[in-house]
Structure 1
Amino acid sequence: MIQNYKYLLLCTVLFLSCNPKKTTPDDVERPNIIYIMADDHTTQAFGIYGSRLASLNPTPTLDKIASDGMIFDNCFVSNSICTPSRAAIITGQNSQANGVLDLEGMLPVEKQYLPQEMKKLGYQTAIVGKWHLHEEPASFDYYYVLPGQGQYFDPEFLVQGDKAWPKNVVKTSGHSSDKITDATLDYLKNKRDPNRPFFLMHHFKAPHDDFENAPRYDDYLKNTFIPEPESLYDNGNNGSVGTRGKNDSLTRILGSSVSHRNLIRNQAMNLYIDSTIYKNYGNAEDYHGKQIEKFKNSPEEKAHTSKVYQEYLKRYLRCVKGVDDNVKRLLDYLEEEGLLENTIIVYTGDQGFMLGEHDYIDKRWMYDESMRMPFFVRYPEKIKAGSHTDAIINNTDFAPTLIEMAGGKTPDYMQGKSFKEILETGKEPEGWQQSTYYRYWMHLAHRHQNPAHFGIRTKEYKLIFFYGKYWVDTDDPNAVWNKESWGNDFTNHTPPAWEFYDLKKDPKEMNNAYKDPAYQETILDLKKQLLQLREDLNETDKNYPHIQEVIDTYWDD
Structure 2
Amino acid sequence: MLRSAAADQGQQPNIVFIFTDDHCTQALSAYDPTRITTPNMDRIAREGMRFDRCYVTNGICGPSRAVIQTGKYSHLNGFIRNGNRFNGDQQTFPKLLQKAGYQTAVIGKWHLATTPQGYDYFDVLKGQGPYYNPPMITAGADGKPVTRPHTGYTTRIITEKTLDWLKNDRDPKRPFMVMYQHKAPHRNWRPEPKYLNWLDDVNIPEPETLWDDYQGRTQAAAAQQMTVRDHLNANDLKLTGYGNMNAEQKKVWDAAYGPKNEAYLAAKDSMTEEEVIKWKYQRYVKDYLRCVKSVDDGIGEVLDYLDESGLAENTIVIYSSDQGWYLGEHGWYDKRWMYEESLRTPLLVRWPGVVAPGSINKDIVSNLDFAETFLDLASVEVPADMQGRSLVSLFKGKTPADWRSVFYYHYYENPGAHNVARHYGVTDGKHKLIRYYALQGKKLDDWELFDLDKDPNELQSVYGSSDYKQVQAKLAKQLVDAQKQFGVPEDTDIAPKPRNRKRPAAKPAAKPAAKSAAK
Opposite residue 57 of structure 2, the aligned amino acid is S
Question: Which 5+ residue runs of structure 1 have no aligned equivalent?
Answer: 1-23, 245-249, 277-298, 470-490, 548-557
> Which of the numbers 235, 254, 270 marks the counterpart of 2:236?
270
Shift of 1:153: 0.4
Opposite residue 513 of structure 1, the aligned amino acid is V
Quote the Cα distance in structure 2 between the aligned partners of 1:40 and 1:542: 30
Quote the Cα distance in structure 2 between the aligned partners of 1:29 and 1:242: 51
Quote the Cα distance in structure 1 between the aligned partners of 2:478 and 2:7: 41
Over residues 304-363 of structure 1, what are the superposed CA-to-partner deviations in whole Å (9 max), with x where a residue is unaligned? Answer: 111000000000000000000011111111122111121100000111111111111111
Shift of 1:433: 0.4
Quote the Cα distance in structure 2 between the aligned partners of 1:383 and 1:492: 47
- Asked if 1 retains the 8 angstrom alpha-carbon contact of 2:18 and 2:181, the reply is yes
Change (3 A) 1:25 1:180: closer
Over residues 142-184 of structure 1, what are the superposed CA-to-partner deviations in whole Å (9 max), with x where a residue is unaligned? Answer: 1011111111101111111146754x12221111110001111
**Corresponding residue of 2:383:** 411
Quote the Cα distance in structure 2 between the aligned partners of 1:57 and 1:359: 20
Change (3 A) 1:314 1:543: closer
Quote the Cα distance in structure 1 between the aligned partners of 2:470 and 2:125: 49
> SS of the residue aligned with 1:230?
coil
Aligned counterparts, 1:300-449, within 5 A: 300-424=272-396, 426-446=397-417, 448-449=418-419
Aligned residues: 464
Over residues 212-258 of structure 1, what are the superposed CA-to-partner deviations in whole Å (9 max), with x where a residue is unaligned? Answer: 111100121111000101111134645313333xxxxx4xxx23100
Change (3 A) 1:461 1:118: same
Change (3 A) 1:91 1:302: same
Opposite residue 206 of structure 2, the aligned amino acid is E
Quote the Cα distance in structure 1 between the aligned partners of 2:70 and 2:50: 23
Aligned counterparts, 1:43-58, within 5 A: 43-50=25-32, 54-58=33-37
Shift of 1:506: 1.2
**Corresponding residue of 2:260:** none
Q: Does 1:523 align with 2:472?
A: yes
**Corresponding residue of 1:533:** 482
Over residues 468-507 of structure 1, what are the superposed CA-to-partner deviations in whole Å (9 max), with x where a residue is unaligned? Answer: 24xxxxxxxxxxxxxxxxxxxxx55375311111111111
**Corresponding residue of 1:114:** 93
- Asked if 2 retains the 8 angstrom alpha-carbon contact of 1:267 and 1:312, the reply is no
Opposite residue 515 of structure 1, the aligned amino acid is G
> Which of the numbers 24, 29, 46 marks the counterpart of 1:67?
46
> SS of the residue aligned with 2:209?
helix
**Corresponding residue of 1:124:** 103
- TM-score for the superposition, normalised by structure 1: 0.79
Counting aligned pairs with the same residue, the percent is 39
- Asked if 2 retains the 8 angstrom alpha-carbon contact of 1:454 and 1:465, the reply is yes
Return the index of the structure with the highest Cα Rg.
1
- Asked if 2 retains the 8 angstrom alpha-carbon contact of 1:242 and 1:494, the reply is no
| Greater relative contact order structure (CA < 8 Å, 6+ sep) | 2
**Corresponding residue of 2:511:** none
Over residues 62-106 of structure 1, what are the superposed CA-to-partner deviations in whole Å (9 max), with x where a residue is unaligned? Answer: 011111111110001100110000000010000111011111222
Opposite residue 427 of structure 2, the aligned amino acid is R
Quote the Cα distance in structure 1 between the aligned partners of 2:18 and 2:50: 15
Q: Does 1:242 align with 2:213?
A: no
Question: Which 5+ residue runs of structure 2 have no aligned equivalent?
Answer: 1-5, 242-270, 497-519
Quote the Cα distance in structure 2 between the aligned partners of 1:535 and 1:124: 37
Shift of 1:459: 1.5
User: CA RMSD, aligned part only?
Assistant: 2.3
Shift of 1:410: 1.4
- Asked if 2 retains the 8 angstrom alpha-carbon contact of 1:37 and 1:204, the reply is yes
**Corresponding residue of 2:506:** none
Q: Does 1:226 align with 2:204?
A: yes
Opposite residue 303 of structure 2, the aligned amino acid is L
Q: Does 1:499 align with 2:452?
A: no
**Corresponding residue of 1:484:** none
Quote the Cα distance in structure 2 between the aligned partners of 1:126 and 1:445: 32
Quote the Cα distance in structure 2 between the aligned partners of 1:44 and 1:56: 7
Opposite residue 218 of structure 2, the aligned amino acid is S
> SS of the residue aligned with 2:476?
helix
**Corresponding residue of 2:257:** none
